[in-house]
């Protein structure tokens, strides 16, 4: 029976355990370029002992960033600097992954600690947002986006493809497409945000078209032996849960047929008016249903910060990987903490030898 510290293989990539660090935006870039903050951040996380580290949402185009502080991969300068991050993650023993993204109508926003709202239109830092339809998200994100033309759609698909190529050249071995959280991909799939009347809107089949075509185009350039994954909100908690989940599973099946290797199961966040049942591991049964009905490996990143919850989710085959995000911000050595909590033999040796040797040899100075 697999557990949290079992190795995991997907395609030709083997993770040393089933602990993964999901994308967590830092909002510290300038012109989309990584800097010393990112290098220290990702190196520290990778040295903590997880099997996989996925770099934060990285914009495939300037207008695809959430904020002016978000990473980008729409030019070679950005990609070359990201090479340092991929190499540092790999040198620390983790697999380097990256999430490529387009924020759609949620773009052109202030950093979360500076308001987490749309930048005023007359602010020189602001830019025009785009989406399937000219419908604002609402709440603190009231700006009405420009409805995308077919040319816009084709351009953005090409941007995703170019981003995937740059990610590969930069040394990343795991690619995640961000189709979740009310950003562009999720906006196309949802009837809340997609009111188009052409071949990209209306029916479930049409609303699925953008993500399917984008995935197909990326799969053509991303090596078959490396994992191609996606993050997607399979449920909204908007009162239409069964309908949305059933449609989502059908879409995931279509993605799998076109080369998707794993799904990171999340919430849609397409509209602000929802009733999400926040709680420990609340998405575990949803993830397991997607895993079983779509026949695809899954992960999830919500509420698994307690080692026993993450381990149980793996043992019960609810998840194939446990995405541990905020707990790693609190404790970058979370895998060591989890190994001790779960009674792993030689727990300290999930860390690099310069730490593990001394931690294994002496009683912890912080122990009760």
For the annotated catalytic residues, the residue numbers are 183
Q: What is the DSSP string of 294-309?
A: HT--EEE-SS--SHHH
Which residues does residue 52 pair with via DSSP β-bridges, in sequence order?
20, 95
Q: What is the DSSP string of 114-182?
A: GTSSBPPTTSTT----EESSS---BTTB-PPPEEPPHHHHHHHHHHHHHHHHHHHHTT--EEEEEE-TT
**DSSP structural state of residue 104:** G
∠ CA 46-51-53, rounded to 5°: 50
Instruction: Report the alpha-carbon distance of residue 102 to residue 164 in Å, rounded.
Output: 13
Instruction: Report the alpha-carbon distance of residue 235 to residue 186 in Å, rounded.
Output: 11
- Is residue 192 packed enough to be buried (19+ CB in 10 Å), middle (13-18) or exposed (0-12)? buried
Instruction: Report the alpha-carbon distance of residue 266 to residue 287 in Å, rounded.
Output: 8
Greatest extent of the chain over all pairs of C-alpha atoms, in Å: 67
């Amino acid at each position: 029976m697999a557990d949290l510290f079992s190795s995991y293989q997907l395609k030709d990539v083997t993770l040393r355990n089933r602990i993964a660090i999901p994308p967590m935006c830092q909002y510290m870039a300038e012109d989309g370029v990584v800097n010393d903050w990112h290098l220290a951040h990702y190196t520290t996380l990778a040295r903590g002992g997880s099997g996989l580290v996925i770099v934060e949402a990285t914009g495939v185009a300037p207008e695809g960033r959430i904020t002016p502080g978000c990473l980008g991969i729409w030019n070679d300068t950005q990609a070359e600097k990201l090479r340092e991050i991929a190499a540092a993650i790999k040198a620390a023993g983790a697999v380097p992954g990256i999430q490529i993204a387009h924020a759609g109508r949620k773009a052109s926003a202030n950093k979360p600690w500076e308001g987490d709202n749309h930048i005023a239109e007359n602010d020189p830092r602001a830019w025009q947002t785009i989406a399937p339809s000219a419908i604002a998200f609402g709440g603190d994100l009231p700006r009405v986006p420009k409805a995308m033309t077919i040319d816009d759609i084709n351009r953005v698909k090409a941007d995703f493809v170019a981003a995937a190529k740059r990610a590969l050249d930069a040394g990343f071995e795991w690619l995640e497409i961000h189709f979740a959280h009310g950003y562009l991909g999720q906006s196309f799939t949802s009837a809340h945000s997609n009111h188009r009347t052409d071949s990209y809107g209306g029916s479930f089949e049409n609303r699925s078209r953008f993500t399917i075509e984008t995935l197909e185009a990326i799969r053509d350039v991303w090596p078959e032996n490396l994992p191609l994954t996606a993050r997607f909100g399979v449920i909204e908690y908007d009162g239409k849960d069964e309908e949305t989940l059933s449609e989502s599973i059908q879409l995931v099946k279509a993605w799998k047929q076109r080369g998707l290797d794993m799904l990171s199961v999340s919430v849609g966040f397409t509209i602000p008016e929802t009733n999400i049942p926040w709680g420990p591991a609340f998405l575990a049964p949803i993830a397991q249903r997607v895993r079983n009905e779509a026949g695809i490996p899954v992960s999830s990143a919500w509420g698994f910060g307690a080692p026993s919850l993450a381990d149980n989710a793996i043992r019960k085959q609810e998840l194939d990987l446990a995405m541990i995000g905020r707990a790693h911000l609190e404790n970058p050595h979370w895998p060591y903490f989890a190994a001790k909590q779960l009674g792993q033999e030689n727990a300290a040796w999930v860390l690099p030898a310069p730490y593990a040797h001394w931690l294994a040899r002496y009683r912890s100075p912080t122990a009760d």
